[in-house]
Amino acid sequence: MAQFSELKGQTVVVTGGANGIGAATVRLFHEQGARVFFCDKDATGGAQLAKELGANVSFQCVDLVNEREIVSWVRQVKAEAKTIRVLVNNAAWDPRIPFLEITSQQWDDLFALNVRAGFLLARECIPAMARGGSIVNIASIVLYNSPKNLVGYVATKGAVLGFTRCLAREIGDRGIRVNCVSPGWVFTERQIRDYLTPENRKLIHERQCIPDHIQPSEIATVVLFLASDLSAAVTGQEILVDRGWQHS
C-alpha cells in the first residue's frame, strides 16, 4: 500500500469501526499514521480492535441513534485533536423486511442510524475541519439493483447519496470535499454468516464482471483515496466499488 504522507498525524473519525468495512478502514488509516477515533455500538469488538492497534487509535461505544451521545463523542474528539481531517460515515444497518411488514418505528430507526447519524456527525465535525478536509459517506449499489425486502434500507441509501451531493455544494467554499462510496456485495463476517447462500454465490458470479469476492479492505482503499490529496479535485461524486455489477 502506498503511503499518503499528508495523512500522517491527521485526525480521522470513523463510525461503525468495530467490524467489516469500518474495521478495515480504521486499520488502513492507522497504517498511514493517522490518529484514528472510531465508534461502534459493539463495545467488545471495538475495544479489541483498539487494543490490537495500540497507539493513535481511540474507541468509544456510541449509540448513533442518540444525538446526545454523538455530540458528546465529537466534542471529546475535538478536545483531544483540535482539528479533524477526515470523517467516514460508515455505520448502517440493512435488515431484510418485506415492505408490508415494516413498522413505522423500524422505518424511523433505519433513517436515524443510516441517515440522521451521518448528518449529525457532519454537522459536529465540519467546524473543526480546515481546507483539504474530506467527508466520505458509505452508500450501496442496492440503490440501483433494488433487491426485494430492502425498501427501507434502499431508501436510506438514496438519502445518503442526495445528502452527499448537496453537502458538497454547500461546504465547497470551505475547501472541504464530500464524496460517497457505494459498495457491491462485500464479504464481511456478518454477510457471510447471515446472507451468503449458494443461490447468492451464483448471483454474484453471474452479475459481477469480475466474479471475485469483494473484501472489506478493498472498500477501505477507495475511502483512503477519497480522503487523500490524490482526489483533491473530486467532490460531490459517487464511486461504485462492485466489480462491475452495475455494468452488466
Q: Which of 37-51, 121-135, 140-154, 192-206 has the lowest mean pLDDT?
A: 192-206
Verify whether residue 153 is a known catalytic residue. yes
Going by pLDDT thresholds of 50, 70 and 90, the confidence category of residue 120 is very high
Q: What is the pLDDT of residue 96?
A: 93
Local structure of residue 99 (DSSP, 8 states): G
Do 122 and 135 form a contact (C-beta atoms < 8 A)? Answer: yes
Whether pLDDT at 248 is above 60: no
| Identified catalytic residue from 37, 59, 73, 153 | 153
Going by pLDDT thresholds of 50, 70 and 90, the confidence category of residue 73 is very high
Q: What is the DSSP string of 129-197?
A: --TT-EEEEE--THHHH--TT-HHHHHHHHHHHHHHHHHHHHTGGGT-EEEEEEE-SB--HHHHHHH--
Angstrom distance (rounded) from CA 185 to CA 140: 9
Q: Is the dihedral of CA 74, 79, 80, 81 positive or negative?
A: positive
Angstrom distance (rounded) from CA 81 to CA 78: 5
Whether pLDDT at 36 is above 60: yes
Show the CA angle centred on residue 155, arms to residues 222 and 195, nearest 5°.
Answer: 70
Mean pLDDT of the region 82-105: 96
Residues 184-241 pLDDT 10s = 988 877 777 776 788 878 888 889 899 999 999 999 999 999 999 999 999 999 999 9
Residue identified by cell 495500540 is 54
Do 160 and 141 form a contact (C-beta atoms < 8 A)? Answer: no
Taking the model in full, what pTM does it have? 0.96
Grid coordinates given for 200: 447468492
Mean pLDDT of the region 122-127: 98
Do 166 and 208 form a contact (C-beta atoms < 8 A)? Answer: no
**Annotated domain spans of the chain:** 7-240
CATH class of the domain comprising 7-240: alpha beta
Backbone angles phi, psi at 173, to 5 degrees: -70, -10
Q: What is the pLDDT of residue 110?
A: 98
Grid coordinates given for 52: 490490537
